[in-house]
Structure 1
Amino acid sequence: MKHYDVVIIGTGPAGQKGAIQAAKLGKSVAIVEKQNVLGGAQINTGTIPSKSLREAALHLTGAAQRGNYSGASRAKQKITIHDLIEISSNVIRHEWEVIRGQFERNGVDLIWGTAHFEGPNLLMIQGDGDSQLVTADRFLVSCGTRPAKPADIPFDNDAIFTSDGLLKLERLPKSMIVVGGGVIGTEYASIMATLGVKVTLVEGRHQLLGFLDSEISGAFMYFMRQQGVTLRMGEKVERIEKVEHRNGTVSTLVQATLESGKKLKAETLLYAVGRQGVCGAMGLDNVGITFDDRERLKVDEHYQTNVDHVYAAGDVIGFPALASTSMEQGRRAIAHAFGQDVGNYNTDLFPYGIYAVPEISMVGKTEEQLTQEGVPYEAGVARYEEIARGQILGDRTGMLKMLIHQDSHKILGVHCMGTGATELVHIGQCVMGLDGTAEFFINNVFNFPTLAEAYKVAAYNGLNKLAHV
């Protein structure tokens, strides 16, 4: 029986970074993976494949350049699901190699199998046809989550599927109902619409992506409608079933019946409402750790569970459940486990990225939050159509909004929509992290032409408003 300083369960972003951090501290490390591939949802079913699919859709349809070149920028007239998945698969294979290489270089033992706690420091790992026991002084649980699949929905991974199943489609459908207007639902709805799929999105709230600044969310909803997406807001699905459809020939369609009585039909349906934890079968009761009804673990500010030697990070602990935050959580959990101080951790400056079409990103406060908190602010806005780089890229819809404190001129929030939004937001994040003001953007030179110029334009716009110019 082998003993380790730490055993990590799950090779997703939290597990990866936790394992490398432990190895850098000179600790003996093992990482356990129950799937037959590395990387968890981030690499195989979530972040990487969905973003790869988005880039493939933008390239093959020419959508990123339509403002300048119209249909002439389309790389392929008839796009197949094979075209899209092939690009994604190449990226995924590369990421597998990168992760495996990192483990090998840092001396991390990779163990394939399903982990089950037999005692506080004893782990059973069940592999294909064999099992082994290992012990450790500390553990990091980073087993992730899976898409929620209610029992009353007839999932078949062909016509009715979750985000995991969408990536396994054998053909590009003509129509799709998307249930759920969260990040996953809106990303895939906009990507499919870009590919020419007739999309209907059903969301129980009256605003998509409710955590966004309402102006950005409103602009995004307008753009989706312009792309042909039908938004059924404030609606809830009562029943999902397959029905026969007669239109000259007999075919099978998916029908979603809404609580309002509306009946929606399409070739396919993507169910994207919530995710479910997977730690319930890990024997955590043998350690004294409890979990909630969605199999999520509760942790403190150091990512420590109620049992001192067991930590948890990533999607399994719930919000914000981002690959970027999971990486840092895993690193910080291991650092704390071995008495390392990793310094300040400003959770107020987490950036959020939505890889929809168009791209959206934000950091800091929204207008609604500042108003609710009684913070005096002004909004400076720059639109891509007034930025030379925006014209060159053919992006007519992009915008950047900067929220400026009326008295100190400090930056309180940055909200972007358009090309490169998830990259552009980090400029504002850095200035906010260093307590900078809007004058920073006025008094510094930016490369020209770049989208970063939008910060200077937004700063002038906001400060001019404050000066009543």
Structure 2
Amino acid sequence: MNSYDVAVIGSGPGGYVAAIRCAQLGMKTAIIEKYSTLGGTCLNVGCIPSKALLSSSHHYEEATKHFEEHGIEIPGEIKVNLEKMIARKQAVVDQTTGGIDFLMKKNNIDVYEGLGSFIDATHIKIEGKDAGEIEAKNIIIATGSKPSNLPFINLDKERIITSTEALKLKEVPSHLMIIGGGVIGLELGQVYRRLGAEVTVIEYMDRIIPTMDAGLSKELNKVFKKAKCNMMVSHKVKSVERKGDEVVIKAENKKGEVIEFKGDYCLVSVGRRPYTDGLNAEAAGVKLNDRGQVEVNEHLQTNVSNIYAIGDVVRGAMLAHKAEEEGVFVAETLAGQKPHIDYNLIPGVVYTWPEVAAVGKTEEELKEAGTEYKVGQFPFRALGRARASGDIDGFVKILADKTTDEVLGVHMIGARCADLIAEAVTAMEFRASAEDISRYSHAHPTFAEAVKEAALAATEDRALHV
């Protein structure tokens, strides 16, 4: 039986990063993955493939709607070859997951393909290609999450689908109905709307992206409505039925009226659930809570001292980069270091166009806490760079403490916000004030100038370009 200092169960961004960092720190490391490719949900059926399709569909939309105004004329009809688009997406996935294979070899990490389950607190059974048992002094659970469902919906994975099936459709839907106005539903909705599908988003809450700042929700809703998407908020889905190639959804609005929606595909996008199926956690004595999450303390340690858990399977936001931070945190803890994660400063991003990004507290949270704050906001349409590229939708909003001027939250929607948010995270990690951000130079013309201008607006209401 092979013995290790650390064994990681699950090879998503949290798991493979944890394994790499453990190996870097001199620990003999193994990683167990039940699928034939490494990378977990994110690399195989999540972050990476969805971004590939978002990019391809964005190019198509630019070519059909905006090239002419740039003086670019394309003779003949521009068509979508969905099969080729999906094939390109898969090529990106294959290249990315292949890169993880390389990193495992580079760091001398033993990879086991099969389902890993606990025999006891130090022994793991592997069922599958690399069947057998291994022993480890420490074990990291990084088994991730799976799409959630509503109890009355039968997911046939043909017409009533999850995000996994939506990434490999063989046709552009005529009418794609999406249950859930969160990140995944909106990103995939935008992909297929660009490609010609009618799109209806049905959201239980009173706004889309309900966990983010209300200002971002309002602005993104405008973008989707401008694209002629049907945005049905405050609607509670009561039933979903397939009738041949048609799906019928019945939902109740806030007046108590039942509204019927019909389309050829229904994407169920109501969040994700921690995935511990087959883990046999009870054999090791590991405790799960009533939400199915592995319970951990502030060191990401379970109730069994040598077993840790990270990523979507524990509490907190289900984000790949949060899982990565936790993977490094556990590895360094095992090495006797004293790492640090500030969960308030884990950014959230929606990769629609315009992109949506946020870090820190929302206005709603500050109001609820009774914190006195000031707001600085700057519209992208006032930027030279935004006008030059035609990306004028959106704004940057900075929330700062009214007394100390410390930045408490940054919320943005616009071009390249997924990248711009890193500036806000950096500033907040060093407890910068709005004035600090306003006083360092931002290159012109760039989208990043919106951050400086919002900081100026928050400091003394003195934005320069509005």
TM-score interval, smaller chain: over 0.9
Say whether 1:166 aligns with 2:159: no
1:112 alignment partner in structure 2: 113
Is residue 288 of structure 1 aligned with residue 285 of structure 2?
yes
Tell me the SS of whatever aligns to 1:62.
helix
Partner of 1:323: 320
One-letter identity of the residue aligned with 2:127:
Q
Q: Where do residues 445-456 of structure 1 align in structure 2 (5 Å cutoff)? A: 445-456=441-452
* 8 Å contact kept, 1:350–1:363: yes
User: 2:362 and 2:337 mapped to 1: Cα distance?
Assistant: 34
1:437 has 2:438 as partner: no
What pairs up with 1:333-348 in 2 under 5 angstroms? 333-342=330-339, 344-348=340-344
The answer to whether the 8 A contact 1:311-1:333 is kept is yes
TM alignment of 1:65-464, pairs within 5 A = 66=66, 69=69, 77-128=78-129, 131-150=131-150, 152-243=152-243, 252-259=245-252, 260-342=257-339, 344-464=340-460
1:10 and 1:143 in contact (8 A); partners too: yes
Quote the Cα distance in structure 1 between the aligned partners of 2:78 and 2:229: 21
SS in 1 for 2:308: strand
Task: Work out whether residues 82 and 170 of structure 2, in 8 Å CA contact, stay in contact via their aligned partners in 1.
Answer: yes
Give the C-alpha shift of residue 309 in structure 1: 0.6
CA contact (8 A) 1:410 1:437 kept: yes
Q: Does the 8 A contact of 1:180 with 1:202 survive in 2? A: yes
User: Identity over the aligned pairs, expressed in percent?
Assistant: 30
Q: CA deviation at 1:456?
A: 2.3
Deviation of 1:410 (Å):
2.1
Write the deviation string for residues 207-254 of structure 1: whole angstroms up to 9, x where unpaired: 11122111111111121111111111111111111236xxxxxxx311
Task: Report the CA distance between 1:87 and its aligned residue.
Answer: 2.5
TM-score by length of 2: 0.93
| CA contact 1:65–1:393 (8 Å) conserved in 2 | no
TM-score calculated relative to the size of structure 1: 0.92
* Aligned twin of 2:3: 3
Aligned 8 A contact 2:434 2:455 in 1: yes
List gaps (5 residues or longer) in structure 2.
none
Alpha-carbon distance in 1 for matches of 2:455, 2:65: 28
TM-fit CA distance, 1:55: 1.0
Offset at residue 153 of structure 1 (A): 2.5
Does the 8 Å CA contact 1:115/1:123 hold for their aligned counterparts?
A: yes
Distance in 2 between residues matched to 1:21 and 1:359, nearest whole Å: 31
1:355-405 deviation line (CA, Å, top 9, x unaligned): 123210011111222222222222111111110110111012121111232
Cα deviation for residue 72 of structure 1 reads: 5.4
Residue identity matched to 2:260? K
Query: Matched residues in 2 for 1:218 and 1:231: separation?
Result: 12
CA–CA separation in structure 1 for the residues paired with 2:68 and 2:291: 47
Name the stretch that deviates more: 65-74 or 208-217.
Answer: 65-74
Q: Which moved more, 1:314-323 or 1:367-376?
A: 367-376
> Counterpart amino acid of 1:394?
G
Q: Which residue of 1 aligns with 2:22?
A: 22
How many angstroms does 1:94 deviate by? Answer: 1.4
Tell whether the 8 Å contact from 2:287 to 2:302 is kept in structure 1 after alignment. Answer: no
CA distance in 2, matches of 1:65, 1:30: 50
SS at match of 1:218: helix
Secondary structure of the structure 1 residue equivalent to 2:26: coil
CA–CA distance in structure 2, aligned partners of residues 331 and 456 of structure 1 = 32
C-alpha displacement at 1:63, in angstroms?
A: 7.4
Q: Secondary structure at the match of 2:186?
A: helix
Alpha-carbon distance in structure 1 between the residues aligned to 2:71 and 2:178: 27
Q: Which residue of 2 aligns with 1:249?
A: none
Distance 1:299 1:289, change over 3 A: same
What is the distance in 2 between the residues matched to 1:209 and 1:377?
Answer: 23
- Give 3-state SS (helix, strand or coil) of 1:262's partner: strand
Aligned residue-pair number: 459
Shift of 1:70: 7.5
* Whole-Å separation in 2 of the counterparts to 1:230 and 1:142: 37
Query: How far apart are 1:267 and its partner, in Å?
Result: 1.1
Aligned in 2, Cα 1:255/1:92: closer, same or farther, shift over 3 Å? same
Q: 1:31, 1:108 within 8 Å by CA — same for their partners in 2?
A: yes
Contact 2:176 2:264 in 1 (8 A): yes
Question: Alpha-carbon deviations, 1:336-356, whole Å to 9, x = none?
Answer: 2332222x3222211111112
Other structure's SS at 2:99 match:
helix
Shift of 1:65: 7.9
Q: Which letter maps to 1:109?
A: D
Contact 1:39 1:99 in 2 (8 A): yes
CA contact (8 A) 2:359 2:409 kept: yes
CA contact (8 A) 1:5 1:28 kept: yes
Q: Give the Cα separation in 2 of the matches to 1:97 and 1:378.
A: 47
Q: Deviations over 1:308-351 (max 9, x none)?
A: 11111111114201000000111111222332222x32222111
Distance in structure 2 (CA, Å) of the matches to 1:73 and 1:404: 47
Distance 1:382 1:2 in 2: 58
Q: Which runs of 5+ in 1 are unaligned?
A: 245-251
The range that moved more, 4-13 or 313-322, is 313-322
Offset of 1:422 from its aligned partner? 0.9
TM-superposition CA deviations, 1:118-147 (whole Å, max 9, x none): 12211111123x621111111001011111
Alignment-mate amino acid for residue 421 of structure 2: V
**Letter matched to residue 222 of structure 1:** K
CA RMSD of aligned residues (A): 2.3
d(CA) in 2 for partners of 1:169, 1:191: 12
Instruction: Note closer, same or farther for the CA distance 1:86–1:43 as it changes in structure 2 (3 Å cut).
Output: same
